[in-house]
Amino acid sequence: MNQPERYTITAALPYTNGSIHIGHLAGVYVPADIYARYLRLTGNDVLFVCGSDEHGVPITIKAKSEGVSPQDIVDKYHAIIKASFEDFGITFDNYSRTSAKIHHKTASEFFTTLNDKGEFIEETTEQLFDEEANQFLADRFVIGTCPKCGNEESYGDQCENCGTSHNATDLINPKSAITGNVPTLKQTKHWFLPLDKHEDFLKEWILKGHKKDWKPNVYGQVKSWIDDGLRPRAVTRDLDWGIPVPAEGGEGKVLYVWFDAPIGYISSTKEWAAREGKDWEPYWKDENTKLVHFIGKDNIVFHCIIFPAMLKAEGSYILPENVPANEFLNLEGNKLSTSKNWAVWLTEYLQDFPNQQDVLRYVLTANAPETKDNDFTWKDFQARNNNELVAIFGNFINRVVVLTNKYYNGVVPAPNELSPIDNETLATVKAYPDVIASSIERYRFREAGQELMNLARLGNKYLADEEPWKIIKVDEERTKTIMYVALQIASALATLSEPFLPFTSNKLKGILNLSSSDSTAENRIENTWNEVSTKDVLLPANHEIGKAELLFSKIEDDTIQKQLDKLVASKKANEIANATVEPQKDSITFEDFTKLDIRVGTILEAEKMPKTKKLLKLKVDTGIDVRTIVSGIAESFTAEEVVGKRVTVLVNLAPRALRGVESQGMILMTETPDGKLVFVNPDDSKVSNGLQIS
C-alpha cells in the first residue's frame, strides 16, 4: 500500500471478567498507543478503537460463582478497565462495549448478511451436554485433554498450553466445568463458517501476500494453521448470554463470542462516528485505509483467519494490512495469571507508584515480548528507571533547565558561531524523527524506545563533553552557544517522547513553554514530529522557559522489596489454594462410628512439656472428669492462648504415655496447608462440657 489516506487501528477487546495487568499493557495497548500517537503526530487521519468484550462463557461462570448476574460482572469490570486505560494515557478515540445496543445491532446484521448470502452451513451435530446442569458444554464449560499436546487442562475452545483452537468434542476425556460430570452427547443445530472454503484465499492473501511484512511469529502460526487444514467452525452457541441468533431455529442460541467480538471494532467505530458527526464507512470499507489489529498471540487465529474470512465473506470490508501480535510477558519467571493473582495490576501499580505511568510504559516497551516471550522483573524495572529514565533522560533535562535559569534567568540565549561538534550534534538530532519512525512503522517498539533514549544519551554526552559549568568561568559567549544547542535537544525530546512517555512529554513541554495538547498560552511554540527534522530552530533565542521540575525520581530498594514481598504472598496463597485434598478413606459402618466417644470439653490448664517442640500438657474438663491430655499443638499455640478454649475430645482413646506423661484422650484438630493447627469445636454458647458428638 502507498501512503494510506487514513488508519484504522484496533486493540484487542479486553475480556471483562477481571481487571487488566502489565501483560495486557505490554502485549497490546502500549504498542498500539505508541503507534496511534505517532501517526497522529505525523499528521495522519487516525482512528484508534477498542471496547470491552462482554459475552462468552467465562463471564457466565464468574457470575455463577459470585452469585450475581453476568451484567453485574461486565458492568463492574468495564468501568475498572476503562478507567485503567485512561489512567495510563491510552488514547482510544472510542472505547465501547459489546453489550451496547449498537453492537448487538451491528453483529446481528453482519450475521444476517452472511446467512442470507449462504455463507454458513447449518448442521445438527452432537454436542457435549451436562445432564445435571441441563446445559450444553462448549468452550470454557468443558475441560479435557488437548488432542494436540496432551495438556490435561485444555478448554473446549482452546488449549492454553499449545495455543491450538479446537471444538469441545475434540477433547479427550472431557469433563463438565460446572459439575465435574462426564458429559453425554446430545443433538443441537448450529451455524458453521466453512473456513475450508476460504483456504485458497487465505493462502494467497497471507502466505503469499504477507510473507515479508508480517512478523515471523504471526506468519508462522498462521501457516501452521493453514497447513493443518481448515475446518468449518461453529459461530453459534447454546447459551443465554450473548447476542441472540437472528435466524429461524436460533431460539435459545447466541452468536459465538468469537464471532461477535471482532465485529466490536466496527460497532465501536460506528459509535465514534455518530458522536463526532463523521462517516464510519471509509474507516472499514475504503481500500486506501490501512487497518492494523494489535493483539496478543492467543488471538492470532481469530484475527488472521476467522475474522478476515468473515470480512471477505461479507464482501464490502477491507482486510487488515498487518496484525503485529506480541508474544507473552511473564512476571518474575512465571506465566502471568489472573486466577492465580500472579500479576501486577494496573490499579495497584498506580496506588504504589502514583504519577509514574510513564515508568511502566517505558519499561514495558523496553522489555516488550515482540519476538519471544519475555520476563518482567522488579529489579529490571528499578534499573531501567534509575539508570535510564533518571540518570539519562531526567538528568539531561534537569541540567539544561537548571543552568538556563541560573545563567540566563530562563531566557534562551542567542548562539554564537556553531562549532563542528555543535553542527554534528544538531544534524544527528534532525535524523531522529526518521530513525524512530522507521522502527515504529515496522512495529519494532522496543527499538524505537531505545532510539528515543539514545537521543537523551546524545544530549547527556554533549553536556558532559562541553562542560558549560566549567566554560562559563572562562568563555561566556561559548557557554551561550552550548546551552542553546542543549535546549534544541531538549525540545526535540519533548516532541519525540510523546508516543512513549506522554505524561513526561506534556510536563517537559510545560517546562520549556512549548505547545502541548492542553496548552493555551499564545507565546508557546509548536513543533511537530516532522519539524524536529526540518526546522533549524526548535526553541529560538529570547524564548522564555519555566523552572526545573523533576521528571523522574529514583526508586529505592525497599520499594522494590515490597513488590517482591507481595508476589511471595501471592505464591503462598496459591500453594494453599492448590493444596490437594486427601482422598476419602474406606467406608465404615455406623457401628464403627458409634465406637468413638467424642465429647465437648474445656481446657483448664496448659503447660509446655520440657525438652519438646510440639507438646503441650493440658488439663481438660470433659464433663465426665478432669483429665490430662498431651497434645502436639505447641508449634501453633502458646500454653496461655489455649487456656479456657472450648475443644472437642475423643475421650475413649486408649491412654498412652508420651514422654513419660499418660495422655487420656485426644483433642480434635485440623491443619491449614501452611501448617497452622485449628481447633475443631462446636461454636455455640449453649454447648456445655460432656455433651456427646454424634
Q: Which residues bind Zn ion (CB under 5 A)?
A: 146, 148-149, 151, 159, 161-162, 164
Least separation in angstroms between CB 17 and Zn ion: 22
User: Nearer to Zn ion by C-beta: 151 or 652?
Assistant: 151
Least separation in angstroms between CB 162 and Zn ion: 3
Least separation in angstroms between CB 445 and Zn ion: 29
Residue with cell 542543549: 486
Least separation in angstroms between CB 146 and Zn ion: 3
User: Nearer to Zn ion by C-beta: 79 or 162?
Assistant: 162
Least separation in angstroms between CB 672 and Zn ion: 34
Joined grid coordinates for residue 468: 558549560
Least separation in angstroms between CB 353 and Zn ion: 37
Burial of 400 (0-12, 13-18, 19+ CB in 10 A): buried
User: Nearer to Zn ion by C-beta: 159 or 633?
Assistant: 159
Cβ contacts of residue 625 below 8 Å, gap of 6+?
A: none
Please choose, from the candidates 22, 57, 1, the residue with its C-alpha nearest in 3D space to the C-alpha of residue 326: 22
User: Nearer to Zn ion by C-beta: 121 or 172?
Assistant: 172
Q: What angle do CA 396, 397, 402 make, to 5 degrees?
A: 105
Please choose, from the candidates 445, 458, 436, 448, the residue with its C-alpha nearest in 3D space to the C-alpha of residue 392: 458
Least separation in angstroms between CB 157 and Zn ion: 12
Least separation in angstroms between CB 155 and Zn ion: 10
Number of neighbouring beta carbons within 10 Å of residue 564: 13
Q: Please, are residues 190 and 253 in contact by the beta-carbon 8 Å criterion?
A: yes
Cβ contacts of residue 181 below 8 Å, gap of 6+?
A: 130, 131, 132, 175
User: Nearer to Zn ion by C-beta: 54 or 157?
Assistant: 157
User: Nearer to Zn ion by C-beta: 144 or 183?
Assistant: 144
Please choose, from the candidates 564, 593, 103, the residue with its C-alpha nearest in 3D space to the C-alpha of residue 378: 564
User: Nearer to Zn ion by C-beta: 144 or 320?
Assistant: 144
Q: What is the spatial distance between Cα 356 and Cα 345, in angstroms, rounded to a whole number?
A: 14
Q: At what angle do helices 445-466 and 357-366 cross, to 10 degrees?
A: 110
Least separation in angstroms between CB 44 and Zn ion: 41
Q: What is the spatial distance between Cα 637 and Cα 527, in angstroms, rounded to a whole number?
A: 69
User: Nearer to Zn ion by C-beta: 162 or 402?
Assistant: 162
Q: What are phi and psi of 613, to 5 degrees?
A: -95, -35
User: Nearer to Zn ion by C-beta: 98 or 154?
Assistant: 154
User: Nearer to Zn ion by C-beta: 163 or 246?
Assistant: 163
Residue with cell 450473548: 242
User: Nearer to Zn ion by C-beta: 164 or 515?
Assistant: 164
DSSP letter at 514 equals: B
Number of neighbouring beta carbons within 10 Å of residue 411: 14
Q: What is the spatial distance between Cα 647 and Cα 601, in angstroms, rounded to a whole number?
A: 5
Least separation in angstroms between CB 148 and Zn ion: 5
Please choose, from the candidates 626, 633, 634, the residue with its C-alpha nearest in 3D space to the C-alpha of residue 602: 626
Q: At what angle do helices 476-496 and 445-466 cross, to 10 degrees?
A: 170
Amino acid at 62: K
3-state secondary structure 94-157: EEEECCCHHHHHHHHHHHHHHHHCCCCEEEEEEEEEECCCCEECCHHHEEEECCCCCCCCEECC
Q: Is the four-CA dihedral 327, 331, 333, 338 of positive or negative sign?
A: negative
User: Nearer to Zn ion by C-beta: 172 or 577?
Assistant: 172
Q: Please, are residues 643 and 605 in contact by the beta-carbon 8 Å criterion?
A: yes
**Residues forming a β-bridge with 158:** 165
User: Nearer to Zn ion by C-beta: 305 or 452?
Assistant: 305
Least separation in angstroms between CB 58 and Zn ion: 18
Q: Please, are residues 230 and 202 in contact by the beta-carbon 8 Å criterion?
A: yes
Least separation in angstroms between CB 185 and Zn ion: 22
Q: Please, are residues 398 and 368 in contact by the beta-carbon 8 Å criterion?
A: no
Least separation in angstroms between CB 167 and Zn ion: 14
User: Nearer to Zn ion by C-beta: 153 or 565?
Assistant: 153
Q: Please, are residues 227 and 333 in contact by the beta-carbon 8 Å criterion?
A: no
Least separation in angstroms between CB 147 and Zn ion: 8
> What is the DSSP secondary-structure string of 72-102?
HHHHHHHHHHHHHHHHTT---SEEEETTSHH
